[in-house]
Structures are given as C-alpha cells and as structure tokens.
Structure 1
Amino acid sequence: MGFHESYFSTFFKQSMGLSVSDYIAQIRIDEAKKRLLQTDDQIQMIARQVGYTDSLYFSRKFRQKTGRSPSQFRNIRRPERIAAFQFVGLLGALGIRPVCIDQDTFLHSDILKDQLAGTLVIDEHTPDDVFKSLQLDLIIIPNYFYSKPALIKRLERIAPVLVLPYAGGHVVKEVLSTGRLLGREKEAVDWVKRFEHLSQKARNDLSSFREKGETVAIYEMRGHDKVYMWSYDARGAFYLYETLDLKPPKTILEEVLLPNQHTVIPLERLREYEADHMFFIVGVEHGWYEQMDQRMEESDVLRQLSAVKNGTFYPLKLEDFRFDEGERALHLIDRFVSRLTVAANPTIVHM
C-alpha cells in the first residue's frame, strides 16, 4: 500500500481503534460465526477455513473475542429476539420484527414504520441492564462498526453478535444468505419469489414508459453545492437501473455506472448529468425537503433543468432512501413506478 510497516500500523490503529492483527482476528472470528450458523462442519475444519491451523487456539481466541465457545455460539440457530443496528428491511423480508433498533436506523425507517410498530429504540449509550432485560438471542451490526471495537466488545457481553456487510450485495443474495444464517431458509425463498413476482409486475407496468426511451437517474443533494450520483449499491440505484431496466443519461452511464463508482459534482455542473426524469434525494433533518420549493426558486441551476420545467423532477426523502436492503427494496421500487406512471405535471412533486 506504499506505507512503511511501522507507520502503517500506527496509522491503522489511529483510524480504526484497533491494531492490524486484532482487526484480522476480528474478521476471522466473524467469518467463523457465519460458518458455525450456516454449516454442520466440525469446529476443527472451520478453524482451518478461517486461517487457524490449531483448533484449540482458535477456540481460545473465539472465547476471548465473544465470551462464549464456538459450540455455544452455534446453539443460537434460529434466534427469535434480535437487536438490529440497521438491517431492519432485511429482517422484515424474513418475517422478523426486531426487539429493538438503534436510533439512527429508526430515523431512517419511515418507509417501514408499520412493520416496526412497538419496537424499542436504543442507541450506543443505552445502559447494559436495559439491553440485558430484553433477553436478546442475537445482536446484528454492520461491518463499519469495526471502527468501534469497544462497542463490539460491550455488545458481545450482552448477547452473541453477528456482523453483516453494510452494502454491495444484491437483495436476493442478501436475503438468501441471511435466511441461512438465521435459520429462515423457507422464509427467504418465499420472499425471493415475492420479490421476483413484484419486480416483473413493475417492469410490465413500465413497459410503455421504456418504449419512449426517456432517461431516468437518481441524485442526492448534500449541503448547498454538492450533488452525489450513486452507483449500483446505494440509494435504490440498482433497482432503478437494473431491476426496472430503465435508461440512465449517457454521462451517468459512462462515469458512474460502468466504472461502478459513486461520483460527486458541484451543483453548477448538474445540467451535464440531467435526465428526463430526475429522482432527487434530500434530507428532512437539515431542512432541504421542506424548503425545496424555496430552494428551487433561489437556484438558477435547478430552475433551468428540463425535468423541473416538465414536471418530471421528484424530490425524495433521504430518511426513506438511505437504506435499500430487503423489504425496503420493494417499497423503493413501488415509489419509482408510482411516479413514472403518473402523468407529468409542471410543478414540484413531493414524495
């Protein structure tokens, strides 16, 4: 990576909160957890698969990291009482309503509010005795929590912890994989059939729209002058371009989707990337959504967009679109279809 070994080790620990060796050990233990839940492989074999030649050393390391033996962790198959730091859409696809979710996930889950009714909202500072009183079978966290080793250690003392990747996987693959981990294979297969059926219906509903050859894209406004254009693994972009088979503008295809990398531009360049239909994500929390009409009037760039003039510019709430896993994907697809199948009206349409 171009670093001196000593400098890299120091820089890594400052950035991540744990050493390189501890980070690698955490990755290995978390991979072992998945194999313990998904397979009947012997512990000795799993130890070798994740990089430990000595199964006794692996078991000691596992207990040191988790507070329980590999065999004890394996006994949590088909957990019922789950705390979710994110992934509520994924759990919903498997028919699971979490016992509690973290504050950040709650603030970005309006789209699932009916499915989360009665769920306790917690945060990183919720007292241990509150967590323990919930009698949790499992705590699920995203892999960006690796930068919070103290929190992971604390959560491991409360209940078994399972780490899932934050983004980058197709919803079908994610649901099937998580279904195997949580002992919900049948529920996962049933949901995938539902997803495929509803996706096909959505494509059929948009067949006349696709025949027009009009372009569609999704954007996100941050601050006052930065526009993000997302590639396939964020903000529902995969479902817009791939699942619904909609056509992006040439510039977004060549600079964002083909290289599969998120791109940030100043607002003043937005017209270079404009589409005939523009889904425009803005945050409620920072006032953008409620003040959209005023901001449109104040911005020469936004007012001059063809989509704004034609009534095909659709503001979206970041609080609905931040996550797009599992059950959320179906809601996002429905949002896309509902806007694209309504007659254009040259006014700003809020969703």
Structure 2
Amino acid sequence: MQMASLYIQLQQRDLLQLTPLEETNHHNPSTKSKDANEYTLLITLDHGIRLLTNNISQDLSQGSCILLPTQQSYILKTIKEQAHVARLTFLAFQVDQLTLLPACPPLILGFPYRLSLSNIKLALAGEDWVAPSLLQSNKQNRLQEKKYPPTHHSKLAVTQARLQLILGLMAQLESAPPPVQSDQAVQRTLSYMEQHYYEDLTVEFLAEMAGMVRWQYSKLFKLVTGKKPTDYLTELRVQHAKRLLSSSTETLREISRQVGFKDEYYFSRRFHQLTGHPPREYANILRRSRQRTITDSLGRQISLPDAAARIVATGTNTLGELLAIGIHPVGAGITTMKSQVIYRNKLHHIPDIGLQGAPEQVSLLKPDLILLGNYNEQQLPRLDAIAPTIVYRESTSTFERLRYIAGLFGRSRTAEQWIDRYEDSVRRIRRQLADDYIAGERATVYLVLGKNIYVMGQTGFAATVYESLGFRPTESVNQLIVDGRPWIQIDFNKITQYTGDRNFVMVPQEEMNVHIPSTLQSLVGMLAPSKVHIVEAGWNYDDPLTRERLLTVLPSIFAKDRLALVPANEKK
C-alpha cells in the first residue's frame, strides 16, 4: 500500500503530561474498539521519555513518532520534571476507486520515526490542545483565528490534515535512500580525525583516505557535518586544548603543539575566535569556576574534573559506549571481554585493570576519572582516593547508558547522532527482513556455555531482538524482564517452558570450530519444530559498537537454518 492511497479519519487527540512520580499505564483511548484498522500515533515533544510495550522498553528522543494499534497497551515514563506526548487516534483506509477499505499505514508499527522538532512544530502549530509553550502558533495564524473563529468540525478537519502530513513525513523516511558508501567513507575520516587530531592532517590526505578528490570530499563532508573539514579539525583541536588548559601547567607553545597547531599565535587567535577568550584567560575562568557535581547510582555526590583526559572504566558495555563517542580510556576491565567482543581489535593498547578495577593497577595509570559499571564496594574507598569515581547502573538500556556517559563528557550531541544513525539502520534492516519474520512473534534467546544453558532477559543479543526487531518475549522470559533479571540458568527439563516461535542460540566461538557439542545438539533437538538460529556468543553484548555492527549480519543470521553458524568475525 502506498501513502498516497491512505485516507484517515481522526477519532481522538489529546496531550499526555508525564512526571517521574506518576508512572501511569497509558492504554489507547479506544482499547474497546473492535476495528482492526484503528491506530494511535504518539509524538514525543520532549527528551527523556521511555515507552514500554510488552515490558520491552524504548528510550525515545524528542520528535519520535510511534504508530501503535489501539489494541496495544503501553506505559509512558519520564525522568524529567515534566514531559509531554501528543496522542492522536485514527481509522486508516485504503482508497480503492470509490471504496474505502480498512488498511494499515505503510509504516513499521512500534518503531520510532524521528522527525525534526521544526517539522513537528510546523505540522501542529495552532493546535490549541497542545500546550502553547511547546508549539507556538505564528502571529498570522493567531490573527486569523480571532477574525474567523473556527468551528469544532473545521478544527477536526484541520487536525486530521495535519495528522496526514505527519504520517507522510514518516513515510518519507522510509523512502529516503540509504547512506551511500562515500558517506560512510566520510564517517571513517571523522573517526580518524578524532584519534589523530594532533597530527599534520590535510584535506588532501583525508580525501585520499575517503577515496575521493578534494572538492568532492569537502562538499560531502559539509553535508555530513555542516562544516568545512579545516573548520571541523580546528574546533576539534580547540576542544582538546580546553582540556589541557584546565589540567596542564604546560606553556601555550607546548599545548598548541600537542593539539596539532604549529604556530602558537595562530592557535591563540583561533582559540579566541571560537571561545570568546584568549587561552590563558579561559584557563583562569575554568579554575575560578566550581566543579560540576553529579549523583552516581549509589547516591554519592561526585565532583567531576573540568576536563577528564585519562579515564579508566569497568563494565560489560561501558568500554563500547566510550569508544562509540570517541573516548579512548587509558585502562579498562577487559579480562574476559578481550577475546569475545566484536571490536577486540580496538583493545590492543588498552591495559587491563581487572573486572572490578583493581586499585593497584588503576593507580599506575594515574587516571583523572574512574567509571565503574562493575565494582567491588570494599574497593571503592581506595579508588576514590586515586581519582573521582562514578558508579553507574549497567542494567539500563543502551540509549540511556550512552546518553548518561556522553553527558559526563560533554558529548551528548555525538550520542544523539549515533542514536539517529542507529534508528535509521534499524528501520532499513526491518524492511529488508520483512519476508523473514513477523513483528510480534514470540522469541527466546539462549546462551550455551559448555554443559550449561542460560536464557537471556533483555540484555545482550536479546536487546536487539526485542527492542529493535520487534519480537515479543515468551511469558516465562517476560517474567524475567519484569523481575529485572538479565539472565537465568535453566535445566534441560525446563527448556520447553521458555521456547518461542523463534529461538536464537548463542554459542562461544571456541565451541564453533569443533564437532557440534552434545549440549547444543540436544538443545536444538528439544526446540524443534520451532525455528532455530545459531549465533556466535560474541554478539551477546548490547553496547553501541556491537549493536550497530550486528545489524549488518542479521540477514545472514535469518538466512541460516538450524546448525548453520554465524560467527562474530572481528571487524575493523
């Protein structure tokens, strides 16, 4: 069905006001309706909103638009003092000559389509049921309303037309061309600049790295970043200079050299242009200003350094989250990860500090900040004495963790760019896999380690299965999620309690190069006749690097039958 043949009839619209103290179950206003073609569109007007459907959570950005069938119950939560969601319920029809046939809009149900706030304001401007402070009508519209007071029916017709516009904007995202290879090449040069900003980088060198001529590279670079390559590199160097000015006693000449400027006076001039202050004046302002204080997951007040350059971290996903926003820690808890994660080629020069951060090893690295996703409470006082130490919860979702960590280092924009890119990729891969599975199928993720069998909750590979692909957990798995359990070990006689319509079995790589282990063979036999996919256990992480790379191999996973294995080959 094409969007051009879609006709809608608006049934109801209202504004939901959310507060963190009032976690209300939000059922669709027409849950008693028997119309299979009735849908609700949720539009998030603020950041910090979480949607739960079937106990699977999604962290939504400002401007996220999600279409749900009215039979679907859901919960909306917020971490902000107050957040707003516009809700519109409507009937959908396909126009076939002079006949209206019940239909489903050509959109992915339950998936967040992210529109720009400016487009949403334009589409909903003048709607009096939406708070004026959120969407201001322009002056001309307000004068028109005073001169020609709209009737109830005319208001409904206008809102219906605006709803059709928003659905059309969502459909445009579906038809947007996938990122071209050259766009990906520019992204690679951006990553290179982040890591080698202090080197003598030229536009010619970067263009050659991207496989383009200079004018083509510069044009595409500006489309991707909004800036010229030279301006982007200068701003990047100034950002690192800020960090050094706040924590180093080196001379300006030395600092300018360390961040890639050959001329101290050119450095000072560009620094002044970008910050409004000469370098030394900026440093003095920083020293006079108070340090930022945050509350960590244990309720402790932690004073953050102005610019942390040397960071150590522990946790299953913490390292992947830091790397995703361009931060390379000087040490990390990689004891078990270094041979398992798909980005292990990035770990060669990162010293191991132990799973929970051994104080003796951490102190040798002289860190500015310690970030612990995995910790030993008895060791905290010793780590606190080395550097400010933040404990954070790894049990939250990928987006929430990424936004939290990015906020610590002033890289929230980088995190949002990753989230936008990831959601675009998910939408495309779901369209690509449309013939391979049906959203809403019951699925279970198993992990086989030797003779032991585990069932995953909503962590690791299961996060992609439930959150991104739209599978539903079985009732037994759903109970794990409700109880907040990341996984559970089960006996063979309980396997059938968890079996889904489709089952994903994770197996360590070292067990994939030998004859099929009896435990795996027995498990697959007990899961019959359900669909089974065998996947290498290196994909059983839900950090940004793993989840983004996983999307590229999902077609291979769904194409394999039974005991055909899909390894997590190491990528660049």
Q: Same fold (TM over 0.5)?
A: yes
Contact 2:314 2:357 in 1 (8 A): no
Residue 77 (1) aligns with residue 299 (2): no
2:506 matched to which residue of 1? 281
What is the Cα deviation at residue 214 of structure 1? Answer: 5.8
Q: What residue number does 1:196 align with? A: 423
When residues 281 and 292 of structure 1 are mapped into structure 2, their CA distance, relative to the original with a 3 A threshold, is farther
**1:157 corresponds to which residue?**
385
User: Which runs of 5 or more structure 1 residues have no equivalent in the other structure?
Assistant: 1-40, 52-60, 63-69
Q: Distance in 1 between matches of 2:380 and 2:434?
A: 47
Amino acid at match of 1:84: A
- How far the C-alpha of 1:293 sits from its partner, in A, is 0.3
Q: Is the 8 A contact 1:81 1:98 kept in 2?
A: yes
Equivalent residue number for residue 349 of structure 1: 565
Q: Which residue of 1 aligns with 2:466?
A: 241
The equivalences for 1:173-322 within 5 A come to 173-211=400-438, 215-222=442-449, 224=451, 226-232=452-458, 234-248=459-473, 250-252=474-476, 255-256=479-480, 261=485, 262-283=487-508, 288-289=511-512, 293-295=516-518, 299=522, 301-306=523-528, 312-317=532-537, 319-321=538-540
Matches within 5 A, 1:87-106: 87-104=318-335, 106=337
Q: 1:99 to 1:188 in 2, by over 3 A?
A: same
In the alignment, the residues of structure 1 paired with residue 539 and residue 436 of structure 2 have an alpha-carbon distance, to the nearest angstrom, of 24
Deviation of residue 173 (structure 1)? Answer: 2.0
Higher RCO by CA contacts (8 Å cutoff, separation 6 or greater): 1
Instruction: Calculate the TM-score normalised by the size of structure 1.
Output: 0.64
Residue 525 of structure 2 aligns with an amino acid whose one-letter code is: R
Whole-angstrom distance in 2 between the partners of 1:209 and 1:133: 51
Distance (whole Å) between structure 1 residues aligned to residue 404 and residue 550 of structure 2 = 21
| Distance in 2, Cα, partners of 1:121 & 1:141 | 14
State the superposition RMSD in angstroms: 3.8
- SS of the equivalent of 2:379 reads helix
Segments of structure 2 that go 5 or more residues without pairing to the other structure are 1-288, 568-572
Give the residue type in structure 1 aligned to 2:518.
Answer: R
Equivalent in the alignment of 2:545: 327
What is the CA distance between 1:288 and its match in structure 2? 4.9
On the 8 A contact 1:293/1:348 being kept in 2, the answer is no
The CA deviation string for residues 212-244 of structure 1, in whole angstroms up to 9 with x for no partner, is 9865321123563x5332222x22322201211
Q: How far apart, CA to CA, are the structure 2 residues paired with 1:85 and 1:46?
A: 19
Q: Give the direction of change, closer, same or farther, for the CA distance of 1:190–1:212 in structure 2 (3 Å limit).
A: closer
Separation in 2 of the partners of 1:201 and 1:101?
34
Contact 2:443 2:500 in 1 (8 A): yes
In 1, Cα distance between equivalents of 2:521 and 2:470: 34
Tell me which protein shows more helix as a share of its residues.
1
Distance in structure 2 (CA, Å) of the matches to 1:209 and 1:259: 31
CA contact 1:77–1:182 (8 Å) conserved in 2? no
Separation in structure 2 between the aligned mates of residue 193 and residue 297 of structure 1, nearest angstrom: 37
Q: 1:135 aligns with which of 339, 358, 366?
A: 366
Could you tell me how far apart the structure 1 residues matched to 2:520 and 2:330 are?
44
CA–CA separation in structure 1 for the residues paired with 2:419 and 2:503:
29
C-alpha spacing 1:109/1:163, structure 2 compared with 1 (3 Å): farther
**Which amino acid in the other structure matches residue 328 of structure 1?**
T
Percent of pairs with identical residues: 21
C-alpha offsets along residues 49-105 of structure 1, whole Å, 9 cap, x if unaligned? x99xxxxxxxxx97xxxxxxx6xx33x134222111121111122111211112435
**What is the alpha-carbon distance in structure 1 between the residues aligned to residue 388 and residue 520 of structure 2?**
52
CA distance in 2, matches of 1:153, 1:259: 31
CA distance in 1, matches of 2:320, 2:445: 21
Deviation of residue 333 (structure 1)?
4.0
For 2:383, give the aligned amino acid. Answer: L
Match of residue 57 from structure 1: none
User: In the alignment, which residue of structure 2 is the partner of 1:55?
Assistant: none
The one-character-per-residue Cα deviations of 1:287-330 (angstroms, maximum 9, x if unpaired) are: 7555560315873x53353269x7x430432x542x42332322
Residues 311 and 331, structure 2, Cα contact 8 Å, conserved in 1:
yes
1-side partners of 2:358 and 2:483: how far apart? Answer: 42
Rg (Cα) greater in structure = 2
Aligned partners of 1:277 and 1:307 also within 8 Å: no
Measured in 2, the distance between the counterparts of 1:113 and 1:77 equals: 30
The answer for the alignment partner of 1:4 in structure 2 is none
Counterpart amino acid of 2:556? S
2:368–2:388 contact (8 Å) kept in structure 1: yes
Q: Distance in 2 between matches of 1:134 and 1:298?
A: 46
Cα deviation code 1:131-166 (max 9, x no counterpart):
445332211112x52xx2332222222222111112
Closer, same or farther: CA 79–328 of 1 in aligned 2, 3 Å: farther
Contact 1:315 1:349 in 2 (8 A): yes
Aligned partners of 2:534 and 2:562 also within 8 Å? no
Shift in CA distance, 92/281, structure 1 to aligned 2, threshold 3 Å: same
C-alpha distance in 2 between matches for 1:258 and 1:153: 33
Q: How far 1:274 moved relative to its partner?
A: 2.8
